[in-house]
């Protein structure tokens, strides 16, 4: 296909002319420093057709296995059918794009037929006005339908690239206002196709060129990416000049940031200054700093670093910067034993804990009161001695005493015993053998001493014994041989110091012992110590 090749040749000339605007070198990284642009999608323009697709794996191999994520090509701008996408190589690029999900297909699309035919400005102005009126809308609708049919609806479309220069028929300088209207019609037409997901990249030349590229900006609503083509050419001799010049690299970054757009570098590379490794190094460093959505180097002579063998130093810089670092051999870190420094043992001083004696509180001894146990004296009764009577044989008949009646009053100690009335004696006829009468012995009343009361313990008062009637013998008819009974024991006189108390031994014992009493002699005289008066 000679015509696309002629287009590419003219494109290269125009690109070189635009690239002459960029020169300089100031913020490049040292040669040994690796570029970190591996995270940024990168690619290269290798050829517009299937040859370009086939060369992508070879470039990746040359870069040590670096992944080429961007495939970049151009539609021919000679006739409208080519601009409509009626070319066979689009299918090859679509197949490459669909092989991996993270790949990106970038397609440069002309805005006019005869795009490289050196059309004069007045004719360019007429074509721009025709496009603004919608006369070419149907061509771009067919292109959108073609891309959607090839299953690449997310293609990045670089529409009317380098519009601020003088090379292409789609330049905006002859009529900037209508050119912007024409851009909007194309974008809106392609976006009206069902299934599309296109991104439109506005990519001028670096520098002022024929017109300041900001005068051609169509608006944020129809632009997704703001790109820039920047070759090693004027204006500006150093890379620093390319950064700081009007409409230069820094102005591009600032403008995109102000409009909230991502940036790109669809075309960059060597031009007219031969092998320039410093430019390649600085450009790769700039790309790493600005983090564009993607970048693609133009790789054919005189621009290339891989296919063009006349730029060996630039090729070396490019290859070293983009080749992934391979892990080196694992060198074990020598283990240096840490010297064991003995920690001095500092004895902890033993502080004796003072022993605080607990005060002994004496428990007061409560004296137990000694209560004297009263001793009760038991009277010791003398055992009476009973004389054994010697009875002569034959014993005379002894008259029995008459048992007194219980109704008879008992004699009291204070009452004198009455004298029995005289009984008329009955004469007893003596027996021829009178036996002597045995007198009945009188039972003496034992005297039981009463203990003196203790001054500390009062002597309990014993209950007065009930008077036991003492049987009084009945008077017996006196006979010349029967003696009289013994008289009663003498009674103490009244107000005497001898105190007597009758003792009751019970009915049976009283019969045997008779009337008994206990007498105590008390001396209450003036010299006894008990006299109260």
User: Is position 353 within any domain?
Assistant: no
Q: What does the alpha-carbon distance between residue 306 and residue 25 come to, in Å, rounded to a whole number?
A: 22
Identify the CATH number of the domain in which residue 142 sits. 3.20.20.80
Is 510 inside a domain boundary? yes
Would you give the DSSP letter of residue 215? G
Residue 399 corresponds to which tokens in the numbers above? Answer: 């008259």
Q: What kind and span of H or E run contains 108?
A: strand 104-109
Strands 294-298 and 156-159: unpaired
Residue 439 and residue 425: Cα distance in Å, rounded? 19
Per DSSP, helices labelled H in 63-170 are: 80-83, 89-99, 121-132, 137-149
Q: Which tokens belong to 372?
A: 């004297």
User: What pLDDT is attached to residue 442?
Assistant: 44
In a domain, 463, yes or no: no
pTM of the predicted structure, to 2 decimals: 0.58
Output the pLDDT for position 523.
60
* Strand 41-45 with 199-202, pairing: unpaired
The neighbouring-strand residues paired with 476 are none
CB 175 within 8 A of CB 125: yes
- Beta-carbon neighbour count of residue 190 at 10 Å? 23
Last residue of a domain, one of 269, 289, 322: 322
What does the buried/exposed string (b/e) look like for 295-309 if buried means 16 or more CB atoms within 10 Å of the residue's CB?
bbbbbbebbbbbbbe
- 458 within domain boundaries: no
Query: Distances from the Cα of 416 to the Cαs of 69, 282, 366, 404, 464, in angstroms?
Result: 166, 170, 60, 17, 21
Distances (CA, A) of 81 to 49, 127, 261, 300, 363: 17, 17, 32, 27, 128
Handedness of CA 219, 129, 214, 282 (dihedral sign): positive
In-domain check, residue 287: yes
User: Looking at 281, 304, 322, which one is the last position of a domain?
Assistant: 322
201 in a structural domain: yes
Q: Is residue 329 part of a domain?
A: no
Vertex 174: Cα angle to 171 and 179 (nearest 5): 60
pLDDT in tens, the chain (533 residues): 333 433 444 444 444 344 444 433 334 344 444 444 457 999 999 999 999 999 999 999 999 999 999 999 999 999 999 999 999 999 999 999 999 999 999 999 999 999 999 999 999 999 999 999 999 999 999 999 999 999 999 999 999 999 999 999 999 999 999 999 999 999 999 999 999 999 999 999 999 999 999 999 999 999 999 999 999 998 888 999 999 999 999 999 999 999 999 999 999 999 888 999 999 999 999 999 999 999 999 999 988 999 999 999 999 999 999 999 876 677 777 778 777 777 767 767 676 676 666 666 666 555 555 555 555 555 555 555 544 545 444 444 444 444 444 444 444 434 444 444 444 444 444 444 444 443 444 444 444 444 444 444 444 444 444 444 444 444 444 444 444 444 455 555 555 566 677 777 677 777 777 767 777 666 655 555 544 54
> Which residue among 277, 296, 322 closes a domain?
322
Q: Which of 295, 283, 287, 318 is nearest to 22 (CA)?
A: 283
**Omega cis (within 30) before 235:** yes
Please tell me the distance from the alpha carbon of residue 506 to that of residue 502, in angstroms, as a whole number. 12
H/E element holding 231? Answer: strand 230-231
Specify the pLDDT at position 322: 94
Range of the domain at 528: 494-533
d(CA 38, CA 499): 148
Distance (Å, rounded) from C-alpha 185 to C-alpha 76? 21
Within 8 A by CB and 6+ apart from 184, the residues are 218, 219, 222
Q: What is the pLDDT of residue 27?
A: 40
Report the DSSP beta bridge partners of residue 262. Answer: 225
Q: How many domains does the chain have?
A: 2
- State residue 125 phi and psi, 5-degree precision: -65, -40
Give dist(CA 253, CA 226) in Å, integer.
Answer: 9
Task: Report the alpha-carbon distance of residue 230 to residue 405 in Å, rounded.
Answer: 175
Which tokens belong to 401?
């005493």
- The answer to whether position 466 is within a domain reads no
């Amino acid at each position: 296909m000679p015509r696309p090749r002629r287009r590419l040749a003219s494109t290269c000339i125009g690109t070189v002319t635009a690239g002459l605007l960029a020169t300089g070198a100031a913020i490049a990284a040292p040669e040994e420093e690796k570029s970190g642009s591996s995270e940024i999608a990168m690619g290269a323009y290798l050829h517009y057709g299937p040859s370009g697709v086939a060369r992508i794996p070879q470039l990746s191999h040359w870069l040590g296995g670096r992944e080429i994520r961007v495939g970049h090509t151009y539609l021919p701008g000679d006739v409208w059918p080519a601009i409509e996408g009626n070319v066979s190589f689009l299918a090859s690029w679509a197949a490459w794009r669909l092989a991996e999900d993270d790949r990106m297909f970038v397609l440069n699309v002309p805005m006019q037929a005869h795009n490289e035919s050196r059309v004069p400005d007045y004719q360019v102005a007429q074509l721009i006005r025709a496009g603004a009126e919608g006369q070419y809308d149907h061509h771009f609708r067919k292109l959108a339908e073609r891309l959607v049919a090839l299953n690449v609806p997310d293609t990045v479309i670089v529409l009317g690239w380098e519009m601020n220069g003088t090379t292409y028929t789609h330049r905006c300088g002859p009529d900037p206002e209508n050119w912007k209207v024409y851009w909007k019609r194309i974008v809106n037409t392609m976006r009206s196709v069902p299934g599309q997901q296109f991104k439109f990249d506005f990519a001028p030349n670096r520098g002022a060129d024929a017109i300041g590229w900001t005068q051609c900006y169509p608006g944020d609503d129809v632009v997704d990416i703001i790109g820039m083509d920047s070759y090693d050419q004027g204006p500006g001799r150093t890379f620093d000049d390319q950064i700081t010049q009007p409409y230069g690299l820094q102005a591009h970054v600032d403008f995109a940031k102000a409009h909230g757009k991502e940036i790109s570098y669809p075309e960059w590379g060597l031009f007219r200054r031969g092998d320039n490794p410093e430019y390649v190094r600085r450009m790769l460093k700039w790309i790493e700093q600005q983090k564009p959505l993607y970048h693609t180097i133009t790789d054919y002579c005189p621009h290339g670093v891989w296919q063009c063998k006349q730029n060996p130093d630039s090729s070396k810089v490019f290859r070293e910067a983009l080749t992934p670092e391979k892990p080196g051999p694992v060198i074990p870190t020598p283990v240096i034993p840490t010297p064991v420094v003995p920690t001095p043992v500092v004895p902890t001083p033993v502080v004796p804990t003072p022993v605080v004696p607990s005060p002994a509180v004496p428990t007061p001894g409560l004296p137990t009161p000694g209560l004297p146990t009263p001793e009760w004296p038991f009277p010791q009764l003398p055992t009476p001695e009973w004389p054994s009577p010697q009875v002569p044989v034959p014993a005379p008949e002894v008259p029995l005493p008459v048992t007194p009646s219980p109704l008879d009053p008992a004699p009291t100690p204070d009452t004198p015993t009455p004298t029995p009335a005289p009984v008329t004696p009955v004469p007893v006829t003596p027996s021829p053998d009178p036996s002597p009468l045995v007198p009945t012995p009188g039972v003496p009343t034992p005297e039981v001493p009463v203990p003196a009361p203790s001054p500390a313990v009062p002597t309990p008062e014993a209950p007065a014994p009930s008077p036991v009637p003492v049987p009084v013998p009945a008077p017996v008819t006196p006979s010349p041989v029967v003696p009289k009974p013994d008289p009663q024991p003498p009674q103490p006189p009244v107000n005497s110091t001898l105190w007597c108390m009758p003792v009751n031994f019970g009915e049976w014992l009283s019969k045997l012992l008779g009337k008994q009493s206990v007498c105590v002699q008390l001396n209450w005289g003036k010299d006894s110590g008990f006299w109260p008066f």
